[in-house]
A and B are shown apart, each in its own frame.
Chain A
Amino acid sequence: MEAWLGLVGCAALAAAVVVALLVAPAAVGESVAQRILYLHAPSAFAAYGCIAVVAIASAVYLWKRSAAADRLAVAAAEVGVLMCTLVLVTGSIWGRARWGAWWTPDPRLTLTLILWAIYLSYVLLRAFGGDDEEIAPYAAVLGIVGVLAIPAIRVSARLMKGMHPSVLAPREGGSGLTDPSMRLAFWGGTVALLLVAACLVLLRARLERIERQASALRRLADAAEGA
């Protein structure tokens, strides 16, 4: 399953990169750096998807005490932090090219940084917080509350005037993606990064399951040898 998702995701990503760099026309009044959009925004959608999975899996864990849901939350949080890091880094590079600054205190940028910090805390809590069973309910609450930053980012983009461009916002003559090949690069990249993220989450969840199995077996082996 992971292998197929990974293969299809990588093929789709390669195709989206080719369309973004070689087929899609240059946006009017923008430099070549505008093409960063075709991986920057899809990384954001992949991060939101992973974080939504963390929240749902955390809620299922709190409700059913399901170990599988907890493992899925841990896996999705780690991949979500990776995707959010990619959003922040590519956004910063694009900002440097567009505005001449690596960072500005724009509401959407600041809230994305807060979202990243919340889920980085989740990952660090799970990695260094101590016993998994003790820490899991607290982490689950963090995983659910943190997801509120996503609607806050969307609302801030509508209500507060910032420097961040709104490519998908309706405007005269349609959205900012005027050419069909621009939309293909954008949505193709989004589907590709969602598939790649799903593959990474499944692989990470499998690793989490085997690590917990190994930890239980280690305790058993130590006890058996000590007896």
Chain B
Amino acid sequence: MMHLGYLAAAYAVVIGGIALYLRRLVARLAAVDRELSQLRSRLDAADRR
């Protein structure tokens, strides 16, 4: 029964590691998407000038 803690820790590491990486990827994708639309607006504004 003592080894149950090791088992739980290993499964938590795999599932938690993948979930954290996925969350970070999705957050970065959203941030870059926002930056991309801001840059397009800046370029449109520069074109109009």
Q: What is A's interface to B at a CB cutoff of 8 Å?
A: 6, 13, 17, 21, 31-33, 35-36, 39-40, 43, 79, 82, 85-86, 89-90, 93-94, 96-97, 196, 200, 203-204, 206-207, 210-211, 213-214, 217-218, 220-221, 224-225, 227
- A35-B7, A36-B7, A207-B25 given; 5 more Cβ-contact pairs under 8 Å: A32-B7, A43-B14, A97-B7, A200-B18, A217-B36
7 closest A-B pairs by beta carbon, nearest first, are A224-B46, A33-B3, A97-B6, A217-B39, A31-B3, A36-B10, A221-B42
A214 touches B3 (CB 8 A): no
B21 touches A82 (CB 8 A): yes
8 Å CB contact of B43 from A43, A93, A220? A220
Contacts of A227 in B (CB 8 A): 46
> A6 vs B15: C-alpha distance in the bound complex, in angstroms?
13
Contacts of B33 in A (CB 8 A): 210
Question: A93 and B10 in contact (CB under 8 A), knowing A217-B39, A225-B42?
Answer: yes
CB distance from A221 to the nearest CB of B (A): 4
Contacts of B36 in A (CB 8 A): 210, 213-214, 217
B10 touches A203 (CB 8 A): no
Contacts of A39 in B (CB 8 A): 10-11, 14
How would you classify the secondary structure of chain A's contact residues: helix, strand, loop or mixed? helix
> A78 vs B26: C-alpha distance in the bound complex, in angstroms?
15
CB distance from A28 to the nearest CB of B (A): 16
Contacts of B22 in A (CB 8 A): 6, 200, 203
Nearest residue, chain A, Cβ from B47: A224
CB distance from A49 to the nearest CB of B (A): 15
Interface CB pairs A-B, < 8 A, 26:
A6-B22, A17-B11, A32-B7, A33-B3, A33-B6, A36-B10, A36-B11, A40-B10, A86-B18, A89-B10, A90-B13, A93-B13, A96-B6, A200-B18, A203-B29, A207-B28, A207-B29, A207-B32, A210-B29, A210-B32, A214-B36, A214-B39, A217-B43, A224-B42, A224-B46, A224-B47
B17 touches A85 (CB 8 A): yes
A94 touches B6 (CB 8 A): yes
Contacts of B10 in A (CB 8 A): 33, 36, 39-40, 89-90, 93-94
A90 touches B14 (CB 8 A): yes
Contacts of B3 in A (CB 8 A): 31-33, 97
B43 touches A200 (CB 8 A): no
> A82 vs B9: C-alpha distance in the bound complex, in angstroms?
17
Nearest residue, chain A, Cβ from B34: A214
Nearest residue, chain B, Cβ from A203: B25
> A90 vs B8: C-alpha distance in the bound complex, in angstroms?
10
